[in-house]
Amino acid sequence: MAQAVHREVAHKISLPLAIADCFPLFTPIGEMDWVPGWQPRFLWPQDGRTQKGMVFLTGQGSEETFWIVVDFDEAQHYARYARITPGSRSVLVEIQCKPTGPRETGVEVRYALTGHNEAANPDLLAFAAGFPAMIEEWRALILKWIDRKNSEA
């Protein structure tokens, strides 16, 4: 029997935003502002309001992914999502934002990844190895979004 691969990865970034402006960027609707191609399909609640128990889908075909909001604490600026891509992987995603200044927020992103089968293991291992670079790309995308927003103001 093949072994399921499990990896836990984390990376921290800093963003030049007040925490009240930063934390909402890591919700399904908030990510639509800065993640190219991010188009969640909301099952509950249908208006896309982030709350504990929310269910939504992303991707298509073999990459269709089911998401559930496991924890969502606006006061603590913390969110935890469970996502399952059937036949491939299960992932627990945690976002923790903490103010580091009046207009600066530290963001820690943690993923716990588990492959569903031996065929999924190489992609999962590559994803884990590239995780810090992916989160740094998130930072770059958010900085571009901030620049666009400021130029429109």
pLDDT band at 49 (very low <50, low <70, confident <90, very high): very high
Give the tens place of pLDDT for each residue, 118-137: 999 999 999 999 999 999 99
This prediction has a pTM of: 0.94
Q: Is the pLDDT of residue 1 over 70?
A: no
In this structure, whether the domain defined by 6-152 belongs to CATH 3.30.530.20 is answered with yes
Computed from CA positions of residues 64, 110, 24, 16, in that sequence, does the dihedral angle turn out positive or negative? Answer: negative
Average of pLDDT values for 54-78? 97
Give the tens place of pLDDT for each residue, 2-15: 688 999 999 999 99
Per residue, the 3-state secondary structure of the chain, as one string, reads CCCCCEEEEEEEEEECCCHHHHHHHHCHHHHCCCCCCCCCEEEECCCCCCCCCCEEEECCHHHCEEEEEEEEECCCCEEEEEEEECCCEEEEEEEEEEEEECCEEEEEEEEEEEECCHHHHHHHHHHHHCHHHHHHHHHHHHHHHHHHHHHHC
Structure tokens at 145: 């979004």
Q: Is the pLDDT of residue 72 over 90?
A: yes
pLDDT band at 153 (very low <50, low <70, confident <90, very high): confident
